[in-house]
């Protein structure tokens, strides 16, 4: 088996940028590495996710319960694993993921009132156990507080449509704040590796965040 590194975080926390930088850094060092991003919007298997985010099933994220929404994303991941990167991983390659099963924990577990342990256990059993998706070796959580994520999101286009209109997650500030608070909780509970992306009232430079990620991985994955 190979190695699976996940870059996780709330919307507009810099996941795509940092995943790409890590991929390039590992590739430069001679690693057999592949970059994977979720949701895989170009895949036909991602249609339920796109319809959900477009608001076709309800304008508020809570209109679709955590189990149903998680299944949409899980199908997308399963198809991607089977068709695009599973064989590479099983032959020993390194996968850098921009989001993964961990995103369901961040964005869907927060829909559960009270203790979320039962839902997280169900989710991990469903995706890792029953679907057979590989468990990450390392999860790096980009801690970007909501007020800074909002600033970064302002000029970002919708990844599905390419237009300014945000999806039902992105345009719901209450939801984004709740997802962030949930992410901080599960980050500690599940042992994810937290990288602070803002300090002293400002967002850190992209290169500084990247250096912290690389430094951590060099120590952990020796």
Count CB neighbours of 133 within 10 A: 21
Long-range CB pairs of 150-158 (<8 Å, 24+ gap) are 150/12, 150/176, 151/203, 152/12, 152/13, 152/14, 152/203, 153/11, 153/12, 156/12
Peptide bond just before 39 cis, omega within 30 deg = yes
pTM above 0.85, yes or no: yes
Which structural domains are found in the chain, ordered by start? 3-220 (3.40.50.300)
Instruction: Convert the pLDDT of each residue in 80-93 to its tens digit.
Output: 999 999 999 999 99
Instruction: Convert the pLDDT of each residue in 149-204 to its tens digit.
Output: 777 766 665 454 555 466 677 777 888 888 899 999 999 889 999 999 998 888 99
């Amino acid at each position: 088996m190979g190695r699976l590194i996940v870059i996780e975080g709330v919307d507009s926390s810099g996941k795509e940028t940092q995943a790409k930088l890590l991929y390039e850094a590992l590739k430069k060092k001679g690693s057999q590495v592949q970059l994977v991003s979720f949701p895989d919007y170009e895949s036909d298997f991602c249609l339920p996710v796109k319809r959900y985010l477009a608001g076709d099933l309800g304008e508020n994220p809570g209109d679709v319960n955590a189990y149903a929404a998680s299944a949409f994303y899980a199908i997308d991941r399963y198809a991607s694993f089977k068709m695009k990167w599973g064989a590479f991983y099983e032959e020993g390659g390194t996968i850098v993921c921009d989001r993964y099963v961990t995103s369901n924990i961040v964005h869907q577990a927060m829909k559960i009132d009270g203790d979320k342990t039962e839902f997280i256990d169900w989710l991990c059993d469903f995706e890792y156990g029953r679907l057979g998706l590989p468990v990450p070796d390392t999860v790096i959580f980009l801690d970007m507080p909501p007020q800074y994520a909002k600033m970064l999101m302002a000029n970002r286009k919708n990844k599905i449509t390419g237009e300014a209109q945000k999806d039902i997650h992105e345009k719901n500030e209450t939801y984004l704040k709740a997802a962030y608070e949930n992410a901080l909780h599960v980050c500690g509970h599940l042992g994810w590796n937290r990288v602070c992306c803002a300090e002293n009232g400002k967002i850190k430079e992209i290169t500084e965040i990247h250096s912290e990620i690389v430094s951590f991985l060099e120590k952990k994955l020796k």
